[in-house]
Amino acid sequence: MSKISGVLLSFLLVCGCAMTIESRLDSVRGDFMTSEDVLNTEFQKQNNLDLLLTADALFHGNDYAKADDAYEEFNHRNIDDIGGSFTREAISFVVGPSANDYKPYMMDSLFVSYYQLWSALATGRYDDARVIINQSYAKQQNMSLSYKKTLEENQKALESNEELASKLNAGNLVWTAYRDIMNPALMYLSGIYFLNSGDFSEACTYLERTSGMESANPFVKLDLELAEKREKPTNTIWVFIEDGFAPKLHETRITVPVVIGGGSSLATIALSEPVFMNNFTNIDGAKALADVDAMFMTEYKEYRANDALRVMSSVAGRIALQSSMYNSHSSAAPLLGLVSSLFSITTSGAEVRTWATLPKSISVLRMKNDKTGLIELRSNGNLVSNISVPKLSGNYLVYVRFGPKGQDIKVIKLK
């Protein structure tokens, strides 16, 4: 009885793993930009996900040097973040995805570049900014090719399972997604950098790419026209507004009995499902720049297909294990069967980890610098934020992040 009690206790502890991760990430969102606990750790010793959360907290705390160190640590660890790993897949197959370190989404790496670019501009490191832009575009190109390969591989794998393919495709119909792995906010910020630097050829390149993804944004078109005419903007302010949170993942589990040999087996299927979050506020006059929900779903719908295929294989393997235990012709067969059944349940888990503090959406305002030193952000006519800028001529970038408990505002003078 003591052995069974131990197994049951282990079962209860492991079963709560996914829910514990979900609860922790919910807490991170709830304390977003207000908790300093994460800043007291050595990020070199953190796992990938905690490293991203720490870097994010440092960035919003205006500690740009440490934030950049943390982002660089992430970059060095994840140079081959688009590659696969047999060992990683084997561990996920046997004991579940949570046994591995967090594998970043492709968009995570692009947001690292996005925030590194903001940090470089905020600290006047314009040469570094150019390097970050060049590296990020090369990264986006590689990711786009990798994503195409993933599409082809998943399509081939799903051809042998029409029912699963049908269910997944039906679910995907409700998702709006970008065709390629790109970040239009990063593209636009890069275009503004080159436009203000007088590098009109590069400005045209990046603004054309942004316009291709956000064709309805009039501000992007206006800057593209300036670049094509080889004219620098004058007394202009760009306000980038981040709001809400990107989708979170929730684990759904189904455990059903399966009669096999000398006893009953348990088959557990665990998959993640996206939960879409609400915006905190919508700013009057701001135009959509990046739909992060769509960026996330571009990748997730393919990972979901991969997870569904892995789960099917994993369930079959676990049922076979339980069958062999129940039919082992041993006096301990019932106990071995029970242990294998509990193992099947406890090691069947879904990946629910994401970079929890990424925004839901990014929008932009483009306005004339009237040198009054004040920008008013309104939502449905109501004042939600006063932003102070120098009462001087020139071009400015303004970064605004709305959170559940406050705002992060950064004002940057462009040279």
C-alpha 80: how far from chain center: 17
Q: Please name every residue paired with 248 in a beta bridge, in sequence order, or none if there are none.
A: 275
- Give the pLDDT confidence score for residue 202 in this predicted structure: 96
Tokens 């006063």 — which residue? Answer: 386
Furthest-apart CA pair in the chain: how many Å?
87
Helices 17-30 and 2-15, interaxial angle, to 10°?
A: 30
Dist. CA 390–CA 411, nearest whole Å: 9
- CA-to-CA dists, residue 291 to 40, 252, 294, angstroms: 32, 26, 5
Q: Which amino acid is at 76?
A: H
Q: In which domain, by residue range, is 65 found?
A: 2-414
Contact 358, 245 (CB under 8 A): yes
- CA-to-CA dists, residue 99 to 13, 19, 305, 368, angstroms: 14, 15, 20, 52
Q: How many domains does the chain have?
A: 1
Query: Beta strands 236-243 and 395-402: pairing type?
Result: parallel
- CA-to-CA dists, residue 159 to 84, 118, 302, angstroms: 22, 44, 14
Helix ranges (DSSP H) in 231-326: 292-326
pLDDT of the chain, 415 residues: tens digit per residue: 344 434 333 433 444 456 688 999 999 999 998 876 555 567 778 899 999 999 999 999 999 999 999 999 999 988 655 444 444 444 444 455 567 889 898 889 999 999 999 999 999 999 999 999 999 888 877 777 766 666 666 566 656 666 655 554 554 444 444 555 679 999 999 999 999 999 999 999 999 989 988 889 999 999 999 999 999 999 999 999 999 999 999 988 766 565 555 555 666 667 788 999 999 999 999 999 999 998 898 888 766 655 555 555 555 555 555 455 555 555 555 555 555 555 555 555 678 999 999 999 999 999 999 999 999 999 999 999 999 999 999 999 999 999 998 999 999 999 8
Dist. CA 79–CA 37, nearest whole Å: 28
Token pair of 349, please?
A: 């888990």
DSSP E strand stretches across 173-262: 236-243, 248-260
